[in-house]
């Protein structure tokens, strides 16, 4: 009986580490996740009235339940959490966020870097931005003939992502 007790206790210990300590901790973690999701969307587009109301409720619950109503503590947490959230984005996701937010020059620069590294989807988007820039984005995007030819080759390739050595990818 004793030999079976040790593995069972070890399993319980691992489970306790992997799962939040209480349901309240899990609720707080979910509020944090949803708050950051609202922040991400609101920073790139206008929220619908329903989404804005939902995000407002999430923000108020997080403020009260995690920070005891102390907005300064919420703001301090948000600054750190947002940096970590931004750092977790891939360069392609960052380029897409710039595009969605209407920051076309920043988006094009990132898509172009990724295309140079062999990222197929980034190459396809960079080529489209270059081709339809004036009509769709109200600006022209520059690229040399050689660069455009490379991107066309990348866009036609089988692989979605470029080499692991690419600093942009």
**Mean pLDDT, contiguous 10-residue spans, the chain (169 residues):** 40 39 77 86 82 93 93 91 75 86 88 94 95 91 94 82 54
> Residues 19, 88, 127, CA angle at the centre, nearest 5°?
140
My answer on whether 82 and 102 are in the same domain is no
CA distance 112 to 130: 10
Closest by Cα among 160, 98, 94, 167 to 123: 160
pLDDT at 17: 40
My answer on whether 83 and 95 are in the same domain is no
My answer on whether 137 and 102 are in the same domain is yes
Count: domains in the chain: 2
Tell me, yes or no, whether 162 lies in a domain. no
My answer on whether 81 and 95 are in the same domain is no
Q: Among 87, 111, 135, identify where a domain stops.
A: 87
- pTM for this entry: 0.52
Is residue 160 within 8 A of residue 120, CB to CB? The reply is: yes
Q: Among 31, 57, 87, identify where a domain stops.
A: 87
CA distance 38 to 56: 9
pLDDT at 131: 94
In terms of residue numbers, what domain contains 31? 2-87
pLDDT at 88: 67
My answer on whether 95 and 73 are in the same domain is no
pLDDT at 120: 94
pLDDT at 94: 85
My answer on whether 25 and 80 are in the same domain is yes
Closest by Cα among 94, 132, 97, 100 to 113: 94
CA distance 94 to 107: 8
pLDDT at 10: 37
Is residue 129 within 8 A of residue 98, CB to CB? The reply is: no
Q: Among 36, 61, 87, identify where a domain stops.
A: 87
CA distance 137 to 77: 36
């Amino acid at each position: 009986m004793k030999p079976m007790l040790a593995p069972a206790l070890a399993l319980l210990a691992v489970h306790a580490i992997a799962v939040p300590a209480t349901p309240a901790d899990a609720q707080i973690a979910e509020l944090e996740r949803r708050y950051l999701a609202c922040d991400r969307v609101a920073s790139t587009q206008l929220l619908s009235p329903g989404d804005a109301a939902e995000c407002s409720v999430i923000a108020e619950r997080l403020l009260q339940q995690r920070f005891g109503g102390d907005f300064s503590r919420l703001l301090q947490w948000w600054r750190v959490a947002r940096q970590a959230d931004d750092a977790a984005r891939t360069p392609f996701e960052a380029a897409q966020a710039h595009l969605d937010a209407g920051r076309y020059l920043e988006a094009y620069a990132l898509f172009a870097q990724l295309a140079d590294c062999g990222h197929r989807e980034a190459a396809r988007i960079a080529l489209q931005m270059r081709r339809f820039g004036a009509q769709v984005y109200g600006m022209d995007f520059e690229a040399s003939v050689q660069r455009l030819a490379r991107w066309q080759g990348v866009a036609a390739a089988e692989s979605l992502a470029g080499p692991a050595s690419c600093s942009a990818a």
